[in-house]
Amino acid sequence: MTLAALLATPATNPDARVHSRGDRYVVIDDLLPRADFEDTAEAFTRIRLKPVLSTIDPVYDGFAHRGGEDKQPLGRSADDAPRWQRAVKEQIAAHLDLLGAPGREEDLSLTLSAWGYSAGSRLSWHNDAGAGRIGAYVYFTHRTWSADWGGGLALIDEESRADAAEGPALVHSATHPALVLPRPNRLIVFRAHTMHSVQRVDATAGDRLRRTWTGFITEDTP
């Protein structure tokens, strides 16, 4: 197969499926074929992650681990782009209606950062508003995970209110949070101004990291 033919072939697994969706989010399982996911998971283990304090609640969230940051056009990929990047872009482009941006693929950019959450860490409720963001994505790249280990992504499927960042106010939200578990090879795409949080990783996770590629879909260009 030629390079041109390979690049013309979708990177998304033909067996990928929508696990669940709401008004402001979609969950896609088995994003990559098994061999491509194994390559992605192995490559992630070689990324140098550095501890960083939470920008939401640096006192109680604990340290996360971050590696690298890139920004790319949503509508284009380099010839040597990893398969996971191409697949994530394909799925975001396929769900731009969810982000309120149908048909605007060529006007948008994507940021890409590697993240690891260890036992004891979390990310408090926030809505990713501002900085030209219209949405975000989370792609789980650990090979195994247990529901007992925590680290789920909780979302409130409604547009955030002015007081949404206040914990007591969230308790009175009309919508119950949806909890998306960190299933390997699972992609979540959701709209900005949606309250969400990373639930604390439990001590039973041991030395395992909740590993993700995470980033924003933005209206500005690189």
Does 107 have pLDDT greater than 80?
Answer: yes
pLDDT in tens, 5-32: 445 689 999 999 999 999 999 999 999 9
- 84-96: average pLDDT: 97
Does 169 have pLDDT greater than 90?
Answer: no
The torsion defined by the Cα of 84, 88, 89 and 90, in degrees rounded to 10, comes to 100
pLDDT of residue 165: 62
pLDDT of residue 3: 46
Backbone angles phi, psi at 203, to 5 degrees: -60, -25
pLDDT of residue 26: 98
**Alpha-carbon gap, residue 222 to 219, rounded angstroms:** 10
Q: What percent of the chain has pLDDT over 70?
A: 93
Amino acid at 65: H
pLDDT of residue 161: 76
CA atoms within 13 A on the CB side of 134: 22
pLDDT of residue 68: 84
β-pairing, 133-140 vs 187-191, is antiparallel
pLDDT of residue 129: 87
Does 188 have pLDDT greater than 90?
Answer: yes
pLDDT of residue 9: 87
Report pTM: 0.94
pLDDT of residue 221: 55
Position 86 confidence tier, pLDDT thresholds 50, 70, 90: very high
Alpha-carbon Rg for the chain in angstroms: 17
**More confident position, 37 or 168:** 37
pLDDT of residue 217: 97
Does 4 have pLDDT greater than 50?
Answer: no
Reduced to 3 states (helix: H, G, I; strand: E, B; else coil), residue 94 is helix
Q: 142: part of which helix (H) or strand (E)? A: none
